[in-house]
Structure 1
C-alpha cells in the first residue's frame, strides 16, 4: 500500500543533512509538503536546490534552534504561508564532533570539557527542542491535532563512557518528550521519540569514530534508518500513538509489540 500524504504539512529542523535530509526525501516522495529548517544557510540552500523539483513541494527556512528570535521569525513566516502543521520533527542536534571537545575525546575526562561546548550541546539538543516546540505547538493545539517528534539516541549511548554532555542532553530531551506527551494528548497532539538504534553515518559521526567501528567490525547504520518509522508516524496508522520511543533498527519489533501490521 502506498501512503498518500498530499495536504500533509511537515516542518523538520536539521533537515539539510543526515537523517533529517533522508526523512525529508521520504516524506516528499509520498506527497507531503515539507519545510526544511537549518542554521547553516549554505547547506540549507544546497539541500533545497537538490530536493526542489516539480514533484516535490519543498520549502526552506533558515533557523537557529538556540535563538528564540530566529525561531519566532520562522514561525511567523510559516503561519503566513500555511494554515496548518501536521508534523513537527525536532531533528536538529550537535554531538561530540563539535569544536572544543578535542581534548575530551583524547583524555576521556569530563573535566576537560569546556563549559562553552557543554552549553552549546544542551542549548541545541534540549533548549532548542523546547523553543521550537513552544513556537509551533500552539498552532497544533488550535487545530486540535498534530504530532511532535524528537530525534534521540539509544539508552546505551546516553550512559556510555565518554558521552558527556551529548548522552545526558538526549536523556533530558526524552524526559521532556514524556512530559509533553502527557500534557498535550488531551489536546490532540501526539509526542514521540525516534532514534536510529546504533552508530549511524551522519555529520555527527567523526572520521575517527567511523574508523573505530570499521576496525572492530561493528555495525554502522545508514541515515535512511528512520525512513520507515517517520513514514509510519506520519500515517493514519499512528494517529493515536504517543509517549513512545521508536527505534529504527528495531522497527519491526516495535510493530510486533504493538500488534501493528504494515505493508509498506
Structure 2
C-alpha cells in the first residue's frame, strides 16, 4: 500500500453518502486509507456505517471515519452531514454522492422480467427519483458553501453506465441515473 501523501489526499475531509455497503463502503475505506477523514452516511441503518468505521479504524489505526445517520432526501439531514464534517474535522473538501435506490424496490425479478413503468407504484417511483436525483442536488447545495469558503472542493456523483440507463424495464432507476449525468454536464462536469 502506498503512503497517503502519494495520493495528494492526506488530511482532506470527505462525505460519502451511502457509505455503509457496496461501492460506498469501498470508497469510504479507500479514502480513509489514502489519509482522508470521512463522514460516511446511511439513510436507514447506522450499524452499516459503524461497521465500516470500525473496519477503517482497524486498517488505519485511528478514527478517520465518522458514521452518521442521514437521509439525502431530507435537506435537514444533508445540512447535518455538512455541519458534522466542518465541526468534527474543520472543513469539507470532497462530496461523494453515492447513496441510491435501485430496481430491487420496484421488483424482485427486475433482472429476469422487465418492469413496466406504468405498473410501478407512484410512491416507489418518487422514492427512487427523490434519492437518486434530488438527493445529490440537496447534498451538493448544502456542501458547496463550505467548499467555496475554503476556495476549492470536489463533488463526485456516482452514476451508472449508459446501457443500464437505457435498459428495457429499468424505470425509474435508469432515468434517474441519466438525469444525474445530464446534470453533471449542465454544471460543466464530466460524467462519473
| TM-score, shorter chain, exceeding 0.5 | yes
The reply to whether residue 49 of structure 1 matches residue 57 of structure 2 is no
TM-score by length of 1: 0.64
SS in 2 for 1:34: strand
The reply to whether residue 101 of structure 1 matches residue 47 of structure 2 is no
| Contact residue 28 and residue 58 of structure 1 kept, 8 A | yes
SS in 2 for 1:10: strand
Find the counterpart in structure 2 of residue 262 from structure 1.
Answer: none
TM-score by length of 2: 0.87
> Displacement, 1:42?
2.3
Paired with 2:110 and 2:35, the residues of 1 have a C-alpha distance of 44
| Contact residue 31 and residue 56 of structure 1 kept, 8 A | no
Find the counterpart in structure 1 of residue 173 from structure 2.
Answer: 166
From 28, 32, 35, the counterpart of 1:28:
32
Find the counterpart in structure 1 of residue 90 from structure 2.
Answer: 83
| Contact residue 97 and residue 136 of structure 2 kept, 8 A | yes
Paired with 2:98 and 2:168, the residues of 1 have a C-alpha distance of 24
| Contact residue 13 and residue 85 of structure 2 kept, 8 A | no
* Cα deviations by residue, 1:179-208 (Å, 9 ceiling, x for unpaired): 233xxxxxxxxxxxxxxxxxxxxxxxxxxx
Paired with 1:46 and 1:85, the residues of 2 have a C-alpha distance of 23
The reply to whether residue 113 of structure 1 matches residue 120 of structure 2 is yes
Unaligned runs of 5+ in 1: 182-242, 247-264
RMSD value, Cα: 2.0
SS in 2 for 1:52: helix
| Contact residue 57 and residue 65 of structure 2 kept, 8 A | yes
Alignment of 1:65-80 (within 5 A): 65-80=72-87
Cα–Cα, structure 1 residues 104 and 20, in superposed 2: closer, same or farther, change >3 Å? closer
Larger CA deviation: 36-45 vs 154-163: 36-45
> Displacement, 1:96?
0.3
Paired with 2:96 and 2:81, the residues of 1 have a C-alpha distance of 15
Find the counterpart in structure 2 of residue 6 from structure 1.
Answer: 10
SS in 1 for 2:40: strand
| Contact residue 37 and residue 89 of structure 2 kept, 8 A | no
Find the counterpart in structure 2 of residue 245 from structure 1.
Answer: 191
